[in-house]
Every structure is written in structure tokens, then in C-alpha cells.
């Protein structure tokens, strides 16, 4: 029985540790690493229970009503993202980096939890919700500052929907916003850029938007510094993450996966452990320290 068969049959973290030992490991991290911190995802086991159409880049750019809908939801959903804390998986990755067992993290997440846990070498492939950027002049402000502007401009709106203290009964959504009824979009005001009056957008990559070239370059630089790719909590449905699988296959870089449910690289993996990252990674770190 080969290593792939053993690890799939037993969920063998020891086989994973044996594979990664004495290698320069780079982690490719998806939303499954943050679900244990209370941030929902789009494609995990629970997401199939929700019908949720994420905002599209062209829709946000081309339709003022779409921007109103996004920012109204985001104003309510942001406190949940801001309050989220790293889980055991994030802390294990930071500890592995500190121990010299992990070279760095390429993350598809936009919640900043890797840095909050202490990870130092992180490429945020899809940006960060903690920043807001003007599409016209390129100016950047913190999400905290922009949240204050949203709240100040929409005092009456907030009182109308009695949601001053946070999300209330609004259902959390994966991209840091919340589900709200259609009538909640009426009379909501979106602050323009303080500098040029332009359109403000969260500094994240929306569906249908390209990852910035400089971010891709940074991700490839980190990838090339490793000799093993560890995929964590990602179904690899989105090409921006799957591209690293194609490159690893082409160059003979071994791929290991920890995920709940199937991924689009299962057949390419030399090790696949079915499990939550918050449970598997602390155990993996312990085993690697013993070598």
C-alpha cells in the first residue's frame, strides 16, 4: 500500500509529518482555516446549506446600487470580522514558522488572522478587508476609519433597523458583510474618497477581478523558495490558488493536503489528511519538533 492510500485511509498525520520533515514547506491556505474562527466560507461543508451570491467586480464597479448594497451589508458584517480571533490552526502555522519548519504562507483569506497569530512571512493573495482603496486616485484608508464614516453618514438608517450594536439578526456572509432585506438598502449613503471624491472599494480581490501582478509575483517568489506545498483548508476551486498546484505538478514539487472534503488536487497529492486545520496542525507541529 502506498503512502497516499495509507494517509487517506487513516487520516494519518504521522504520514504527513514524515512527508514534510526536512523540507522547506510553503503553505497555501484557504477559507477552511478561518471557519473555526467563526468566519463562514463559500465552498465548505456548511456553505452548501446557504444560497449566497458573492459580489462581482464588474457589478461593483459598474452599478452604484450594487455598491450601496455591498457597503450597507459590510457596515453590519465588519464588526464580526474585526472581532474574529486566530484559532489553533493559525497559531500552529505561526509556531511552525518560528521553529523553522515552515517557510511562509500564501493565503487566500482576507481576514488578517495569520498576522494576528504571529505569522511573519505572509502573502495575502486576495488582499485584506482591513484596508479600503479608492478606485480613482488609489488612496488607501483603514477599514476602521471608513467604518466610522459609514456609521456617521447613516445614523438614521442604523436607528431605523435597530442594529447599532453589531450584526444583530443579520446573517454573516463569507466576504465580511451580512445578509440584509432589500428594503434596508433604501436611503443608505456611501462615503466617497476624501481626496478625490472617487469610488471606494475594499482592498480585496472580488470574484471576476484579477489578482494584482505584484501580489502574484510575491506569491511566486515565496513558492519558489520552498520544496513542498502544504494545502490547508481549500477546495482549490478558484484558479488564483489552483495555479500553484499546476506549477508544483509541472516542477515535481510534492503536494500535501489537509482539508474537510474533496479538493481539486486530491489525485495530485502524495498525502491527504481529512480533518480540520485547527486539529491537524498542532499535532503536525508537535510531530515535526520531535524529529
Active-site positions read: 126
Residue 110 to residues 4, 159, 168, Cα–Cα distance (Å):
31, 30, 23
Place of cell 495509507: 6
3-state secondary structure of 164: coil
- Burial (Cβ within 10 Å: 0-12, 13-18, ≥19) of residue 273: buried
Q: At what angle do helices 239-251 and 213-224 cross, to 10 degrees?
A: 30
Q: For residues 289 and 104, give the distance between their C-alpha atoms in angstroms, rounded to a whole number.
A: 17
Q: How far apart are CA 236 and CA 28, in angstroms?
A: 10
Cell of 53: 451570491
Amino acid at each position: 500500500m502506498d503512502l497516499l492510500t495509507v494517509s487517506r485511509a487513516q487520516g494519518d498525520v504521522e504520514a504527513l509529518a514524515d512527508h514534510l520533515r526536512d523540507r522547506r514547506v510553503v503553505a497555501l491556505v484557504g477559507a477552511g482555516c478561518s471557519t473555526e474562527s467563526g468566519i463562514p466560507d463559500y465552498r465548505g461543508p456548511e456553505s452548501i446549506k446557504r444560497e449566497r451570491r458573492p459580489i462581482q467586480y464588474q457589478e461593483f464597479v459598474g452599478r452604484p446600487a450594487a455598491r450601496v448594497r455591498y457597503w450597507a451589508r459590510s457596515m453590519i458584517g465588519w464588526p464580526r470580522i474585526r472581532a474574529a480571533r486566530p484559532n489553533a490552526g493559525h497559531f500552529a502555522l505561526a509556531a511552525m514558522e518560528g521553529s523553522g519548519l515552515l517557510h511562509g504562507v500564501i493565503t487566500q483569506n482576507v481576514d488578517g488572522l495569520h498576522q494576528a497569530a504571529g505569522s511573519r512571512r505572509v502573502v495575502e493573495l486576495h488582499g485584506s478587508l482591513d484596508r479600503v482603496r479608492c478606485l480613482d486616485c488609489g488612496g488607501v484608508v483603514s477599514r476602521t476609519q471608513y467604518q466610522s464614516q459609514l456609521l456617521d453618514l447613516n445614523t438614521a438608517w442604523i436607528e431605523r433597523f435597530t442594529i447599532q450594536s453589531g450584526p444583530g439578526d443579520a446573517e454573516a456572509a463569507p466576504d465580511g458583510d451580512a445578509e440584509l432585506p432589500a428594503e434596508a438598502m433604501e436611503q443608505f449613503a456611501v462615503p466617497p474618497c476624501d481626496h478625490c471624491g472617487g469610488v471606494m472599494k475594499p482592498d480585496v480581490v472580488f470574484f471576476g477581478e484579477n489578482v494584482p501582478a505584484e501580489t502574484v509575483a510575491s506569491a511566486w517568489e515565496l513558492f519558489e523558495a520552498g520544496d513542498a506545498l502544504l494545502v490547508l483548508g481549500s477546495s482549490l476551486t478558484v484558479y488564483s490558488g489552483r495555479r500553484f498546484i499546476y506549477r508544483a505538478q509541472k516542477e515535481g514539487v510534492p503536494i500535501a493536503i489537509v482539508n474537510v472534503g474533496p479538493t481539486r488536487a486530491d489525485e495530485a497529492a502524495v498525502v491527504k489528511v481529512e480533518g480540520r486545520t485547527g486539529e491537524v496542525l498542532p499535532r503536525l507541529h508537535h510531530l515535526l519538533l520531535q524529529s
